[in-house]
A and B are shown apart, each in its own frame.
Chain A
Amino acid sequence: MALLDSIAHKDTAKRHRPWPRVGVSDEGWRQAIDLLAGGRATLLGLWGDAPDVHMALLGEKFDNIAVLTYTCKNGTYPSVGARHPPAIRLERAIRDLFGIEAARATDARPWLDLGFWDVQHPLGKKHAAKKHAPYTFLAAEGEGLHQIPVGPVHAGIIEPGHFRFTCNGEHVVRLEQRLGYVHKGIESLMAGASLDDAAKLASRTSGDSTVAYAFAFAQAAEAALQIKAPPRATYLRVLMAELERLANHVGDIGAICNDASFALMHAQCSVLRERTLRAAEACFGHRLMMDAIVPGGNARDITADGASHVRNLLAEIHRVFPRLVELYDNTASLQDRTVTTGIVKADYARQFGTGGYVGRACGRTFDARRMPGYAPYDALQFEVPVLEAGDVNARVWIRIREVEQSLTLIEQVLGRLPKGDVRTAVKSKGEPCEGLALVEAFRGDVLVWLRLDGKGRVERCHLRDASWFQWPLLETAIEGNIVADFPLCNKSFNCSYSGHDL
Chain B
Amino acid sequence: MRKTLFESFTHGPLTEPPPPADETGLAELAQALNRTARAKLGRSLSIRQVDAGSCNGCELEIHALSNAFYDLERLGLRFVASPRHADVLMVTGPVTKNMREALLRTYDATPDPKWIVAVGACAVDGGVFAGSYAVEGGVKDVVPVDLTIRGCPPNPRQLLAGLLALLQTAS
Separation of A448 and B167 alpha carbons in the complex (Å):
44
Segment among A98-106, A232-240, A268-276 that sits at the interface with chain B: A268-276
Separation of A71 and B56 alpha carbons in the complex (Å):
36
Q: Does B141 contact A (CB under 8 A)?
A: no
Interface residues of A (CB under 8 A from B): 114, 116-119, 122, 152-153, 155-160, 180-186, 188-189, 197, 200-201, 204-208, 210, 251, 264, 267-268, 270-271, 273-274, 277, 281, 287-288, 290, 323-324, 327, 330-331, 496-498
Q: Does B27 contact A (CB under 8 A)?
A: no
12 examples of A-B residue contacts, CB within 8 angstroms: A114-B98, A159-B56, A181-B53, A181-B102, A182-B54, A183-B134, A204-B55, A268-B4, A271-B14, A273-B64, A274-B68, A274-B69
| Chain A, residue nearest B155 (CB) | A287
Tell me if A188 and B132 are in contact (CB < 8 A): yes
Which residue of A118, A188, A207 is within 8 Å of B60 (Cβ)?
Answer: A207
Task: Label chain B's interface by main secondary structure.
Answer: mixed
Name the residue among A116, A156, A188, A273 with the largest chain B CB count within 10 angstroms. Answer: A116
Q: How many residues of B contact A (CB 8 A)?
A: 51
Tell me if B61 and A182 are in contact (CB < 8 A): no
Least CB distance from A190 to B in Å reads: 10
Which residue of A117, A156, A159 is within 8 Å of B134 (Cβ)?
Answer: A117
Least CB distance from A127 to B in Å reads: 12
Tell me if B67 and A273 are in contact (CB < 8 A): yes
Q: Does B135 contact A (CB under 8 A)?
A: yes
Which residue of A182, A208, A271, A290 is within 8 Å of B67 (Cβ)?
Answer: A271
Tell me if A182 and B57 are in contact (CB < 8 A): no
Separation of A281 and B152 alpha carbons in the complex (Å):
14
* Interface members, chain B 127-155 (any A CB < 8 Å): 127-129, 131-135, 152-153, 155
B-chain residues with CB within 8 Å of residue A497 when the two chains form the complex: 56
B-chain residues with CB within 8 Å of residue A200 when the two chains form the complex: 128
Using known A-B contacts A210-B57, A496-B56, determine if residue A157 contacts B134 with beta carbons closer than 8 Å. Answer: no
A-chain residues with CB within 8 Å of residue B58 when the two chains form the complex: 207
Among all A-B residue pairs, the 9 with the closest Cβ atoms: A207-B57, A185-B132, A185-B134, A155-B81, A270-B67, A207-B55, A207-B56, A116-B97, A204-B55
Using known A-B contacts A155-B81, A271-B68, A287-B155, determine if residue A498 contacts B56 with beta carbons closer than 8 Å. Answer: yes
A-chain residues with CB within 8 Å of residue B52 when the two chains form the complex: 160
Tell me if B97 and A158 are in contact (CB < 8 A): no
Separation of A200 and B79 alpha carbons in the complex (Å):
30
| Chain A, residue nearest B127 (CB) | A204
Separation of A275 and B156 alpha carbons in the complex (Å):
13
